[in-house]
Chain A
Amino acid sequence: MKKNILITLIRRILKALDGVKSFRDFIISIFVSFKSLQYLRFRSLYSIAINQTKFTGVDAMSIIIVIALLLGGTVIIQATRNFPKFGIEEFIGNLLVIIIARELGPLATAMIVVSRSGSAIAAEIATQKQQKEIHALELMGIDTTLYIVFPRILATVISIFSLIIIFDLVAFFGGYIISLSTVFIPLDIFFASLLDAFSINDFIITIIKSLLYGTLIPLICCYYGFKPNSDFEIPIYVSKAVVRTLLILFVINAIVSALFYF
């Protein structure tokens, strides 16, 4: 019994190590593929990046705005209910910055992008692979790693950066509107307290998180998109792509927060 558990554990560790090695090779192949950048037309990469940014960023705005409003409102409802008990109702701005701008905003945005665009990227690439479209591109002499992965990384970095800012602003606005129903805070005072609560570190961390998330989400999803060897494996790898990307996002978020705020 114990032997079986040990064997399973070792097998899993080896599998995970194998996966890490395979992912490392995939990243190296992307770097190597930059050599063939000169053979690609800028216009082709540009149009993919634009379409991907539209899908990942512009089209996700509506859902981001709704979620941000609800989340900002929820945080403020809790704050306005509980802060007066401690006599700290003037710290609503600080709470919004700490909860939304530092943690919830980037993480919620990344989760929406993973569940919406990450799964789409993995499914799209897997389908293209099964329909031999990738093979056809390779036959035409196009470096598929560069042609498929690079514009998606670029688009996701830009999209996540803009979406985080939109998410934060809408959450602040939603929070402010909700707070008006319970306690009147003049807009200029609210804005001033918000500005006071922000530090330059918060801006730097937002940029770092958007770079990290924007790079990791398409990278992991593309990696799993290239994996399926049959049509039946597509949903398995799409699911793996979403779950593992989410797991890595939480780990990265914890590491970045610990590095900057601990």
Chain B
Amino acid sequence: MKLEKNELRVAIFILIPAALLLVFVLLKLGYSIASSTIDIYLKVDNISSIKKGTQVKIKGYTVGRVVEIIPVYRPALHFLAVMRLQREIQLYENCTAVIQNQNIIGDPVIELRNPERIGIALQNGAVIEGIELVNLEVVLQDIHILLNTLSGTASVIRDISTESKGNLRNLLGNLSSTASTFSAMMSTSQHDIVETLKSFKKTAKTMDEISVELKKHPVKFLFK
């Protein structure tokens, strides 16, 4: 009886450490006694962008889905989206979760991005924060704003062009009057020029006569 008790003690003494070592080795080799997935919580302010079933991707490859959205009431209302991800995917602390649309009409997806500097691996039950929130509603609002801006711009251009037309007409009228004034001025000046030239000619003749008289009687001319 005593020996049997000793045998039992020895068996426990041998088997438990051996089993623990085996578990440790298996964990080290990458085997897992848990399920093949891990749950990571995504903290979001509103859930208009994500819903149950929203895909979770890394570099465009689907690694899991949102399986549940839990409201948290304190300190302020926010939500925890439970992302069930493949265990093999290596995620690290300070990784970012960008909630975005696949395209303009596509469903939203959660894109996970690992940090550049790799830290401690993200464990089951860890919480990460959604840093960007772009949903279809917001995209449509942006498009609406853009179209409004475009419409405003077009009306401004139209107004400018309408005003320009009147200004152009005025400009042409002014140009026409300027041309006629210049023409009248030119015709008036033609007569004046002839008169001026005649006067010049007369002056020249007088000067000629004076010079002749001066040559003939210089003293007389001086004392006259």
Tell me, yes or no, whether A binds B: yes
**What is the interface of chain A, defined by CB distance below 8 A to chain B?**
47, 50-51, 53-54, 57-58, 61, 90, 158-159, 161-162, 165-166, 169, 188-189, 192-193, 195, 198-200, 203, 206
In the complex, the answer to whether B25 meets A203 with C-beta atoms within 8 Å is yes
In the complex, the answer to whether A54 meets B10 with C-beta atoms within 8 Å is yes
Tell me the nearest residue of chain A to B21, going by C-beta: A165
> Top 9 nearest A-B pairs by Cβ distance?
A165-B17, A162-B17, A53-B10, A58-B13, A54-B6, A58-B9, A188-B123, A57-B13, A165-B21
In the complex, the answer to whether B120 meets A195 with C-beta atoms within 8 Å is no
Smallest beta-carbon distance B93→chain A, Å: 10
Smallest beta-carbon distance A68→chain B, Å: 13
In the complex, the answer to whether B120 meets A158 with C-beta atoms within 8 Å is no
Smallest beta-carbon distance A61→chain B, Å: 7
Contact among B17, B28, B29 with A166 in the assembled complex (CB-CB below 8 Å): B17
In the complex, the answer to whether A192 meets B120 with C-beta atoms within 8 Å is yes
Interface size grouping (class) on chain B: 20 to 34
Q: A54-B6, A189-B123, A192-B120 are in contact. Are A162 and B24 (CB under 8 A)?
A: no
Tell me the nearest residue of chain A to B93, going by C-beta: A189
In the complex, the answer to whether A57 meets B10 with C-beta atoms within 8 Å is yes
B186 at the interface (CB under 8 A from A): no
Q: List 22 A-B contacts (CB under 8 A).
A: A51-B6, A54-B6, A57-B10, A57-B13, A57-B14, A161-B18, A162-B16, A165-B17, A165-B18, A165-B21, A166-B17, A169-B17, A169-B20, A189-B120, A192-B121, A192-B123, A195-B24, A195-B28, A198-B24, A198-B28, A199-B28, A203-B28
Q: Tell me, in angstroms, the Cα distance from A53 to B14 when the chains sit together.
A: 9
Interface residues of B in 116-136 (CB under 8 A from A): 120-121, 123-124
Smallest beta-carbon distance A101→chain B, Å: 10
Q: Tell me, in angstroms, the Cα distance from A53 to B24 when the chains sit together.
A: 24
B27 at the interface (CB under 8 A from A): yes
Chain B 111-154, CB within 8 Å of chain A: the 1/0 string?
Answer: 00000000011011000000000000000000000000000000
In the complex, the answer to whether A200 meets B28 with C-beta atoms within 8 Å is yes
Contact among B16, B17, B120 with A161 in the assembled complex (CB-CB below 8 Å): B17
Extra pairs beyond A50-B6, A188-B123, A195-B28 (16, CB < 8 Å) = A47-B3, A53-B13, A54-B6, A58-B10, A161-B17, A162-B17, A169-B17, A169-B20, A189-B123, A192-B123, A193-B120, A195-B27, A198-B24, A200-B29, A203-B25, A206-B21
In the complex, the answer to whether A54 meets B9 with C-beta atoms within 8 Å is yes
Q: Tell me, in angstroms, the Cα distance from A161 to B19 when the chains sit together.
A: 12
Tell me the nearest residue of chain A to B15, going by C-beta: A162
B213 at the interface (CB under 8 A from A): no
Tell me the nearest residue of chain A to B5, going by C-beta: A54
Residues of A contacting B14 in the complex (Cβ-Cβ under 8 angstroms): 53, 57, 158, 162
Interface residues of B in 20-48 (CB under 8 A from A): 20-21, 24-25, 27-29
Smallest beta-carbon distance B149→chain A, Å: 51
Residues of B contacting A162 in the complex (Cβ-Cβ under 8 angstroms): 13-14, 16-18
Smallest beta-carbon distance A188→chain B, Å: 5
B7 at the interface (CB under 8 A from A): yes
Residues of A contacting B18 in the complex (Cβ-Cβ under 8 angstroms): 161-162, 165
Residues of A contacting B28 in the complex (Cβ-Cβ under 8 angstroms): 195, 198-200, 203
Residues of B contacting A169 in the complex (Cβ-Cβ under 8 angstroms): 17, 20
Smallest beta-carbon distance B216→chain A, Å: 123
Chain B 81-125, CB within 8 Å of chain A: the 1/0 string?
Answer: 000000000000000000000000000000000000000110110
Tell me the nearest residue of chain B to A186, going by C-beta: B123
Residues of B contacting A159 in the complex (Cβ-Cβ under 8 angstroms): 13
Residues of B contacting A53 in the complex (Cβ-Cβ under 8 angstroms): 10, 13-14
Q: Tell me, in angstroms, the Cα distance from A189 to B119 when the chains sit together.
A: 12
Q: Tell me, in angstroms, the Cα distance from A172 to B124 when the chains sit together.
A: 22
Tell me the nearest residue of chain B to A166, going by C-beta: B17
Q: Tell me, in angstroms, the Cα distance from A189 to B126 when the chains sit together.
A: 11
Tell me the nearest residue of chain B to A194, going by C-beta: B24
Interface residues of B in 41-71 (CB under 8 A from A): none
Q: Tell me, in angstroms, the Cα distance from A189 to B122 when the chains sit together.
A: 9
Most chain-B Cβ atoms within 10 A of its Cβ — which of A50, A162, A169? A162
In the complex, the answer to whether A50 meets B13 with C-beta atoms within 8 Å is no
Q: Tell me, in angstroms, the Cα distance from A195 to B18 when the chains sit together.
A: 17
Smallest beta-carbon distance B40→chain A, Å: 13
Residues of B contacting A199 in the complex (Cβ-Cβ under 8 angstroms): 28
Tell me the nearest residue of chain B to A169, going by C-beta: B20
